[in-house]
Amino acid sequence: MKRYSAFAIAREALRYHTGWERAWRSPQPKSKYDVIIVGAGGHGLATAYYLGKNFGITNVAVIEKGWLGGGNTGRNTTIIRSNYLQDPSAAIYEKSRSLYETLSQDLNYNIMFSPRGVLMLAQTQHEIRGYKRTAHANALQGVPTEWIEPGRVKEICPIIELNGPRYPVLGGLFQARGGTARHDAVAWGYARACSDMGMDIIQQCEVTNVRTEAGKVVGVDTTKGAIDCDKLGGIVAGHSSVLAEMAGFRLPMESVALQALVSEPIKPAMDIVVMANTVHGYLSQSDKGEMVIGGGTDGYNNYTQRGSFHHIEETVRALIETFPMLSRLKMLRQWGGIVDVTGDRSPMLTKTPIEGMFMNCGWGTGGFKAIPGSGWAMAELMAKGESPLTDEFSMWRFKEGKFIDESVAAGVAH
């Protein structure tokens, strides 16, 4: 792999950019790999990357039924934060956020990480108490966040209307080191690095069956033929239940559609990320100038990657009370993704009833921020059979009552 650098740009400029090579190879699958990862989204590619980087396991295939990064990795609102309430969540999300800080250098690929600050608005008395509690919990966890008063909110986000008639802004939980990154670049950067380590990324190859012998995984059947493996990682977000069914077990989760939309591009108006959880909306401005708006989930099981129209109306109607300037904007695009929601709104990074098969799913409405940390932890789990970051995230925690309850702390729209 040729490294990207200022010199490379200069060199290519002199020869009319004829020397750029493809960022990753597109090989045909081999008959056997040590590890197969199903799903070439951010989490799957990150898992493969850290398997190679941290554990030297490079005989790896990442299989993707569509195109690389075309699922939720390419459909989210790119928010990165780690201000969660429970200790196990703070550990993995903060690991992730800290990995994001140096990810561009690590991958030699500009993921455009922008730690611009994430502000979660408190618009009810209940939220004030909830966020102060989270701020205290974060202090104990070593995650820098702070509770800020309305005056400071207006200072860092001038376009906000503090005295909305229904939902006045009463303060906020601010994580200055949170922010955004370029979501596609995260997938592309990991894919390029994986391919460089000799891993095979096989796109447009759908897994149709998981083959097991005596309770142990031996391979998968795909639309490009059968592939054997010693270990299998299922990292397929909204389709995890479908993959689990192929292997003959069930998961405590449901798949629902979550949608987002962007406005026409405007001049810089807001240089932080704002989440308004009471009204189920969150907002940031992309580098292109579009206002990126995330909404709530549809309330029923769904695999359509679309989202209901009336939820757009609900989201935007609520947001223009807090951001009146939005009322003049035209909306350009809307899209949806299928998110995998668990009972306690925390993910599962877990062994399964099938020996050698692992699942990494249940990230629900907030998976993008977790990509590096999730990959790091999942790689350790798959390589060593355990990881301090994944211990609490077993799929059996529900039976034991050991929930990691983030349904209050985690984002919006549950």
Partner 1 sequence: MLILDCPCCGVSGEETEFHAGGEAHLKRHSVGSTDDQFEEYLFMRENPRGVHFERWRHNNGCGKWFHAARCTQTLEVFGTYSAQTYEPPKEIKDAISAKRPGWSWRNFS
Residues that bind partner 1 (CB under 8 A): 239, 241-242, 245, 250-255, 299-304, 308-310, 342-343, 398-400
The angle that helices 183-196 and 42-55 make with each other, rounded to 10 degrees, is: 40
80 close to 369: Cβ distance less than 8 angstroms: yes
Give the residues across from 126 on adjacent strands.
Answer: none
Nearer to partner 1 among residue 222 and residue 241 (C-beta): 241
Q: How far is the CB of 301 from partner 1 (least distance, A)?
A: 5
Q: How far is the CB of 394 from partner 1 (least distance, A)?
A: 13
Q: How far is the CB of 373 from partner 1 (least distance, A)?
A: 24
Q: How far is the CB of 249 from partner 1 (least distance, A)?
A: 10
Q: At 296, list the tokens.
A: 């709530």
Q: Are strands 32-38 and 60-63 parallel, antiparallel or unpaired?
A: parallel
Q: How far is the CB of 239 from partner 1 (least distance, A)?
A: 7
Q: How far is the CB of 401 from partner 1 (least distance, A)?
A: 9
DSSP-assigned letter for residue 84: -
Nearer to partner 1 among residue 67 and residue 303 (C-beta): 303
Nearer to partner 1 among residue 44 and residue 362 (C-beta): 362
Nearer to partner 1 among residue 219 and residue 307 (C-beta): 307
In the three-class reduction of DSSP (H, G, I as helix; E, B as strand; rest coil), residue 350 is classed as strand
Q: How far is the CB of 243 from partner 1 (least distance, A)?
A: 11
**What's the one-letter identity of residue 123?**
Q
Q: How far is the CB of 310 from partner 1 (least distance, A)?
A: 5
Q: At 403, list the tokens.
A: 């929930």
CA separation for the pair 349, 43 (Å, rounded)? 11
Nearer to partner 1 among residue 289 and residue 343 (C-beta): 343
Nearer to partner 1 among residue 180 and residue 240 (C-beta): 240
User: In 260-360, where does DSSP find H-type helix?
Assistant: 309-322
The residue among 183, 182, 179, 181 whose CA lies nearest residue 272 is 179
Three state DSSP letters for 36-82:
EEECCCHHHHHHHHHHHHHHCCCCEEEECCCCCCCCHHHCCCCEECC
Contacts of 285 (CB under 8 A, 6+ apart): 266, 268, 269, 270, 271, 291, 292
Q: How far is the CB of 317 from partner 1 (least distance, A)?
A: 13
Nearer to partner 1 among residue 239 and residue 369 (C-beta): 239
**What's the one-letter identity of residue 227?**
I
Nearer to partner 1 among residue 129 and residue 250 (C-beta): 250
Gyration radius of the chain over CA positions: 21
DSSP conformation letters of 153-193: HHHH-TT--TT-SSS---EEEEETT-EE--HHHHHHHHHHH
Nearer to partner 1 among residue 66 and residue 289 (C-beta): 66
